[in-house]
Structure 1
Amino acid sequence: MTGRTGTAETPAQTLLRGLVDDAGLFPPTALSMPQAVERHRSDRIVAHPMLTHRFLCPAGRWDELCRRLSDVGWPEGDPETDDRAAGGGGPGPGERLDVGLILPPEAGATGMLPEPDPRIRVTHCEIPADAADIRKAAHLLRSVEIGAQARTVYFEPRRGPGWLGAVEVLAGARPLGVKVRCGGVRSDLFPSIPELEAFITACRDHDVPFKATAGLHHAARHTDPKTRFTHHGYLNLLLATAVAADGGGSAEVRSALAETDERRLAREIRALDPAVAERARELFTAYGSCSTGDPVRDAGRLGLLGSWEI
């Protein structure tokens, strides 16, 4: 694969490009709106390729975000020319703010969006939903009238018996996808390795794109010394998806998820076939991180950034 500079990307760069959404408003960082917008502006200036330069915002804080954009004099973008593909490249100073909108469960699968703002481009929506809502949305998208104008939506099914049925009903319904929660403030919010493997394998089998959120604070699987929660690593998730995309079985995918040696993870990622890395990212599209610096620093420390090294 060729990068934006015209040079060939390494498999690691293919996996890492446009990976990290800005979830600074969410715990445990939980920045204030002024802090979050300012950090995001700084990230846009640096324009690191690992970042998507998408700002994740709950629908309930939309008005607060709009007020903050007014306070800092954020310019209105031009929808006619602002057609860059989100992810992996820094937006220009006059371009709109890319926002991933986090809708509440009560919004439903076809929930209404807030009033549009000329400074903001909603790139996608994320919403917790039950199987019935997801099935309805997939049915609507497959109709000619709706499908041609479909918005990218990631549905987050509640983990439990039958939860992977949500993946099956979304087969053939791109740009609809699913979202998996990888952690949180309680131990029960962390999926087990078998649960995460089954999710990735189901997405592979049905060609359903997925996002991840929460808990992926660092590159490799580790136990937080303060909370004692065992976190999944974002490199584990990338490698597991690549293994699945290359036809790997459950045991191989679980092995990738269980690896705690970050150096070994990095070696295996560097050794991937470039085409496999591309297929993996067609499935695993991005993840939300409350820190936009830690993922980049971890990848740099492991020698995965190559020509992106700052």
Structure 2
Amino acid sequence: MSTPLPPFALFDGLLDDAAVFPPGNFPLEEAIARRMRRRGTAAARYVGPLLLPVALIDEALACATPLTISVVGRPGASTGALLAAAEKVVASAGHSLAGIELPHGSDWRNALALGVPLAVEIPAGPDGLERLSDITEVDGQVHVKLRTGSTPHNPVPTPAQLGAFIVGCLSQDLAFKLTGGLHHPITGEPAGAGETQFGFLNVLVATDAALAGAGASAVEDLLASRETDALVGTLRSLSADRAATIRATFHSYGCCDVLDPVHALSDHGLIEERI
């Protein structure tokens, strides 16, 4: 029998609840009902805020259930509209604003006025890396966000691109979050996916390696690794302090069905609970 990790918070709040976004596309009512069913369960500790687009904010605020919300805008979204929606959450009774996710653009700094955490999305590749210096000028409060799942306008980044992103964030002392595609623990080509999907355990191990001074090539290899036992073994060997440092860098990732990765953690013996 495998021995679970020591009781530190490597996975706590790792999963931002993106139930209403593709490929889940759950109706808001169902997304909220799912959150309610998880409250008080062993799985709840691993799940962060509910991610919502501007179009669903009014409907969410009409809900009697207190919600912790992050307002999300994809590339091309209006910063003004995102701020207006976020201000509605702040002014609402019973609900709370966890943060704002918005694309990098000329006016992204306007969102700093609300004083909540921001996740500023950049594209993969050299163009995105050039924007890191603009984001690092802001002291605290801001994470960098990269899309790791494909959209009609953005393919899945390569291991080299994701590795360069992680190393680039560390070089600028920036924390990051990811979104899309991280449905499975280990990198692979899931049946029906038609493309490689990164494993979220790969990202945790790759982040640990980058923090230890590994270069982009070594980080790339870990992101592409299919060696389940080695990846899980690395995570099982972590000290509490090292785990905390990883999570201070890799903040979270958006997931449309948060129970899938929680089940995977349980299956690999990385958490004590059998979900």
Q: What range is the shorter-chain TM-score in? A: 0.7 to 0.9
Work out whether 1:298 is the aligned partner of 2:270.
Answer: no
Q: Secondary structure at the match of 2:174?
A: coil
Work out whether 1:250 is the aligned partner of 2:216.
Answer: yes
Work out whether 1:154 is the aligned partner of 2:119.
Answer: yes
Q: State the alpha-carbon separation in 2 of the partners of residues 111 and 59 from structure 1.
A: 6
- Structure 1 residue 213: Cα displacement: 0.5
Distance 1:31 1:20, change over 3 A: same
Q: State the alpha-carbon separation in 2 of the partners of residues 103 and 46 from structure 1.
A: 30
User: 1:278 matched to which residue of 2?
Assistant: 244
- Structure 1 residue 10: Cα displacement: 4.0
- Greater mean deviation of Cα atoms: 181-190 or 14-23: 181-190
Q: State the alpha-carbon separation in 1 of the partners of residues 42 and 84 from structure 2.
A: 28
2:133 corresponds to which of 168, 180, 191: 168
Distance 1:238 1:163, change over 3 A: same
- Structure 1 residue 224: Cα displacement: 2.2
User: 1:108 matched to which residue of 2?
Assistant: 79
Instruction: Give deviations 1:21-61, integer Å, cap 9, x for gaps.
Output: 11110111110111111001111231525523411111111
Work out whether 1:129 is the aligned partner of 2:104.
Answer: yes
Q: State the alpha-carbon separation in 2 of the partners of residues 45 and 53 from structure 1.
A: 14
The 8 Å contact of residues 203 and 209 in structure 1, kept in 2 or not, is answered as yes
Name the amino acid aligned to 2:255. S
User: 2:155 matched to which residue of 1?
Assistant: 189
Q: State the alpha-carbon separation in 1 of the partners of residues 222 and 122 from structure 2.
A: 24
Work out whether 1:21 is the aligned partner of 2:26.
Answer: no
Distance 1:11 1:125, change over 3 A: farther
Q: State the alpha-carbon separation in 2 of the partners of residues 271 and 248 from structure 1.
A: 18
- Structure 1 residue 180: Cα displacement: 0.8
The 8 Å contact of residues 13 and 304 in structure 1, kept in 2 or not, is answered as no
Name the amino acid aligned to 2:199. G
Distance 1:199 1:112, change over 3 A: same
The 8 Å contact of residues 181 and 212 in structure 1, kept in 2 or not, is answered as yes
Instruction: Give deviations 1:149-180, integer Å, cap 9, x for gaps.
Output: 62211011133442112222222521111111
The 8 Å contact of residues 149 and 156 in structure 2, kept in 1 or not, is answered as yes
Give ranges in structure 1 of 5+ residues lacking alignment: 1-8, 75-95
Q: Secondary structure at the match of 1:154?
A: strand
Distance 1:106 1:299, change over 3 A: closer
Q: State the alpha-carbon separation in 1 of the partners of residues 225 and 266 from structure 2.
A: 19
Q: State the alpha-carbon separation in 2 of the partners of residues 43 and 275 from structure 1.
A: 28
Identity of aligned residues (%): 27
Q: State the alpha-carbon separation in 2 of the partners of residues 46 and 300 from structure 1.
A: 14
Q: Under a length normalisation based on structure 2, what TM-score does the superposition of the two structures give? A: 0.87
Q: Secondary structure at the match of 2:124?
A: coil
Distance 1:47 1:100, change over 3 A: farther
- Structure 1 residue 252: Cα displacement: 2.1
1:98 corresponds to which of 63, 68, 76: 68
Name the amino acid aligned to 1:252. A
- Greater mean deviation of Cα atoms: 248-257 or 56-65: 248-257
Q: State the alpha-carbon separation in 2 of the partners of residues 160 and 43 from structure 1.
A: 37
The 8 Å contact of residues 183 and 199 in structure 2, kept in 1 or not, is answered as yes
Distance 1:260 1:50, change over 3 A: farther
Give ranges in structure 2 of 5+ residues lacking alignment: none
Q: State the alpha-carbon separation in 1 of the partners of residues 230 and 251 from structure 2.
A: 23
Name the amino acid aligned to 1:199. F
Q: Secondary structure at the match of 2:253?
A: strand
- Structure 1 residue 109: Cα displacement: 7.8
The 8 Å contact of residues 246 and 276 in structure 1, kept in 2 or not, is answered as no
How many residues are aligned here? 266
Q: Under a length normalisation based on structure 1, what TM-score does the superposition of the two structures give? A: 0.78
Name the amino acid aligned to 1:158. P
Work out whether 1:269 is the aligned partner of 2:239.
Answer: no
The 8 Å contact of residues 118 and 142 in structure 2, kept in 1 or not, is answered as yes
